[in-house]
Chains A and B, each alone.
Chain A
Amino acid sequence: MRVTMTVNDEEVSGEIESRLLLVHFLRDHLSLTGTHWGCDTSNCGACTVWMDDEPVKSCTVLAAMADGRKVRTVEGLAKGEELDPVQQGFMECHGLQCGFCTPGMMMTSRALLDRNPDPSEQEIREAISGQICRCTGYATIVRSVRWAAEHEANGCPAHGSTQEEVR
């Protein structure tokens, strides 16, 4: 069957089997490999993307279900060269190590901040509780999201050149 959807503001279409999972459509058909596949029971959230601005686990959505919908992945998080404050926050606060859960974590964090620009620690923890990270122990992810919340108004330095910022 043929599906057409908007991925990161670009219209894409593909000839697919009806059983194809969205995560595989994004990774294998569109080569958007930032979205990862970490489990087979919908627990880990490494595949989290947005469908119509809502975070979904793309391993639990058929590509066919995304037909005509708007999908956003980690590759569409930055505005051109300008990083999203969430991306910046993860770098500033060491919110990632191996980087495998990071794309999904950031998509959820961005969606949280869009709804709740000043979340408490508990609200952040609840928001990311559908996602597993094996490296960070979560505390620095919480700090990263707070960093983003606190820096939204001021904007972020371009190109993610964090190293120069606070010398």
Chain B
Amino acid sequence: MTAVNDHETVDKKPLGHGRMLRKEDPRFVRGRGRYVDDVQLRGMLHLAILRSPVAHARIVSVDTSAAEAHPKVKAVVTGEALAEKGLAWMPTLSNDVQAVLATDKVRFQGQEVAFVVAEDHYSARDALELIDVEYDLLDPVVNARSALAEGSPVIRDDLEGKADNHVFDWETGDEAATEAVFAKADVVVTEDIVYPRVHPSPMETCGAVADYDSVEGRLTLWSTTQAPHAHRTLYAMVAGLPEHKIRVISPDIGGGFGNKVPIYPGYVCAIVASLVVGKPVKWMEDRSENLISTGFARDYIMRGEIAATHDGRILGIRTNVLADHGAFNAQAAPTKYPAGFFGVFTGSYDIEAAHAKMTAVYTNKAPGGVAYACSFRITEAVYLVERLVDCLAYELEADPAELRSQNLIQPDQFPYTTKTGWVYDSGDYEPTLREAMRIAGYDELRAEQAEKRARGELMGIGLSFFTEAVGAGPRKNMDILGLGMADGCELRVHPTGKAVVRLSVQSQGQGHETTFAQIVAEEIGIPPDDIDVVHGDTDNTPFGLGTYGSRSTPVSGAAAAMVARKVRDKARIIASGMLEASVTDLEWTKGSFAVKGDPERSVTIQEIALRAHGAGDLPDGIEGGLEAQVCYNPENLTYPHGAYICVVDIDPGTAQVKVRRFIAVDDCGTRINPMIIEGQVHGGLTDGVGMALMEMISFDEDGNCLGGSFMDYLLPTALEVPGWETGYTVTPSPHHPIGAKGVGESATVGSPPAVVNAVVDALKPFGVRHADMPLTPSRVWDAMNGRAKPSF
């Protein structure tokens, strides 16, 4: 068995934070989860979507007559039909518009063109083949580098006055100051670094069941959404239904990974279909549809530069980025952050100046960008800086661990304002780095590598030290479609001392039903098993923006702690009446109030709950019941950090990379449930190995998607990943009520550079300073043989 660096408590049932088995598991191990495709409603019909076979074409005609004649078909709807209702286009989360069904032309392969509603799933699919669409082919724009070239076909001619493929320009940092430090630097290293297009590929694809009740004018929508409240608001805007007549239910979700944040045309089609036919309608996409049409991730083409002194002091970093956003700008990011939080590209280092410039372009590809545990583009930012630091180490012939150590922000510098304006809340970086090196046996690994190199064997050691920025965010500057990024929480304690806590965030496997019960238990002393966690039902949970960007613990977790404290404050007043003592004379020990100096006089929270609901007087001004609600507006993000070390062996004959070991030390402040954190880290590390070595959504020159199924879009199995070795340090967030930071995406953010740095390190004898992901055998072989690296 794998050695596990486990310093954790082994409590099975803590009264608060600590290792605790999951409340979700009993239903899942029995096959009793309830996912969207498990929903069966009386009279439910099935919807299937006809998709464009080509990347760019004008639609000449759509003939649906044969499909309509199919005996099991109830409706066939085209873009033109939607246009008549004003529903052919919908707003995206980036304030662009996206076609629900194509009207004028198609803009990427896999785009939605028409839909069929039929009695069963199989018949709906049959009928798709009976729809005859005539396309007039147009030249596609596939390579983002040519999107702004003169004469490049204009993809978005639907936008008034649009004569090119430009989406936005963005910049951050101080250009002049950065130029100055680069001018005085001893060493400047420049590298072109591509973070290729990948896909989050949750095991469960996207889908929905829409049920419109025409008598009550009420829509119920079960859907695979990470942000049910935000989706409800958007549906109200699109469909013209009032918000109080829309109930969005996000049941058990089979993984999200950012794929289930955007609104997809399929959801809107299901709603329209139910409105049209007056019956419940289910839409469930297949894997290929998920891969070719739903939110991709990354696709940043970056030129990075790093400036330093001879002795390894990093002075400045600058970058120029070309961002490929596909045919519609639908990336899910806070309104004022078109490049997400890419501004944290200065990483964990104390440098003098930094500057980034970005241009985003439209191409004939599926929309997306922000997904796959990116924390709003921090994957790209961390990959850039961690590759650049290794390129610098290569030029200086410095040890990459020592070079990092030399430049880390020091603990007394926190809160630390970066040269691009981000205020890191806390960090003690050096011990985290040293812990990873200790677990890895770093010096022994380097010695082993030297011996192997002498024998011609290829072994590489890669480091990554990252600072994340999670928990969006303060409402003064963060919103999505005008909705502030605060989160609500409600806590209700029942008469017998059992409780229900209602969240605005939505778990997709992260264990919220367990950990939020633990947060409340820690604050109020009710055992977690006596606390039910409700989420994902907009009728029965407070408003909030959902789960992505590792924001659940920072924002909603804070809300849960605060609401529990609010209830505890009320409980204290009730206790003072019960104990005939003043509130200031009461002492709280987890689960009960006692009179100071007289511990025999005490009441438990359960006794207080009964009193709150029972007969007898309550202190003046106190209403009955024991409940509260809050809406938590975070004052800053949380900034967890981590030190990762990857060890690879490369077969010199086949160029196959084998990840032998991976050590991950994470610091996310206060740890609510170490078992669950470890699982989050393991999953993210697997993402990192997948992206670094296997995964890519690529296109041919006609715009055909070449990664459209699991035959080609390769995900790691149990054989491609090692047994993970994890460790931790604890540097609490000073502004968070329980000192906890987010962590879910840290491993996905931090691990790809560690893997790539390890591979490049192994290839040092070949003079390789950089090679682009995914480092498949053919790409590694090319790098070993000095061939030009692939362009994208």
Contact = CB atoms under 8 A, between A and B. Distances in A.
Given A121-B723, A132-B203, A139-B723, A73 B31 contact: yes
B261 to A, nearest CB: 16
A6 B675 CA distance: 39
Contacts of A90: 25, 29
A77 to B, nearest CB: 8
Contacts of B684: 137
B201 interface: yes
A134 B30 contact: no
A120 B525 CA distance: 42
A140 B679 CA distance: 8
Contact of A39 (B25, B509, B709, B723): B709
Interface string B281-305: 0000011100000000000000000
A163 B13 contact: yes
Nearest to A45: B717
B122 A98 contact: no
Contacts of A138: 682, 686, 717-718, 721
Contact of B710 (A17, A43, A87, A135): A43
B190 interface: no
A142 B2 contact: yes
B122 A36 contact: no
Nearest to A107: B31
Interface in A78-100: 78, 83, 87, 90-92, 94, 96-100
A99 B28 contact: yes
Contacts of A163: 12-13, 20-21, 529
A133 interface: yes
B785 interface: no
A129 B724 CA distance: 17
Interface of chain A, main secondary structure: loop
B255 A129 contact: no
Contacts of B202: 98, 100, 134
B510 interface: yes
B29 A142 contact: no
Contact of A136 (B13, B27, B683): B683
Given A98-B509, A132-B203, A142-B723, A43 B26 contact: no
Interface in A26-83: 27-28, 31-41, 43-44, 46, 73-75, 77-78, 83
Contacts of A94: 21-22, 675-676, 678-679
Interface residues of B, number: 64
A140 B12 CA distance: 17
A142 B1 CA distance: 8
B1 A99 contact: no
Interface residues of A, number: 68
B511 interface: yes
B715 interface: yes
B547 interface: no
Nearest to A101: B203
A32 B710 CA distance: 25
B252 interface: yes
- Among the interface residues A141, A163, A165, which one has the most CB atoms of the partner chain B within 10 A? A163
A27 B678 CA distance: 33
Contacts of A166: 10, 12
B448 interface: no
A99 B252 contact: yes
Interface string A12-29: 000001011000100110
Contact of B33 (A99, A128, A140): A99
A99 B24 contact: yes
B450 to A, nearest CB: 29
Interface stretch (B34-42, B52-60, B391-399, B567-575): B34-42
A84 B152 CA distance: 61
A129 B204 contact: no
A124 interface: yes
Interface string B29-73: 111111101101000000000000000000000000000000000
A33 B252 CA distance: 13
B711 interface: yes
Nearest to A86: B29
B709 A40 contact: yes
B30 A96 contact: no
Contacts of B509: 97-100, 135
A103 B31 contact: yes
- Among the interface residues B32, B201, B255, B684, which one has the most CB atoms of the partner chain A within 10 A? B255
A131 B558 CA distance: 37
A163 B14 CA distance: 10
A41 B724 contact: no
Contacts of B254: 36, 38, 98-100
A125 B31 contact: no
Nearest to A144: B29
6 contacts: A33-B37, A99-B27, A134-B202, A137-B685, A162-B12, A163-B21
Q: Which 4 A-B pairs have the closest CB atoms?
A: A34-B31, A98-B509, A100-B254, A99-B28
Given A94-B675, A99-B24, A141-B718, 9 more contacts: A35-B31, A36-B203, A40-B709, A41-B711, A78-B30, A87-B29, A100-B33, A100-B255, A121-B723
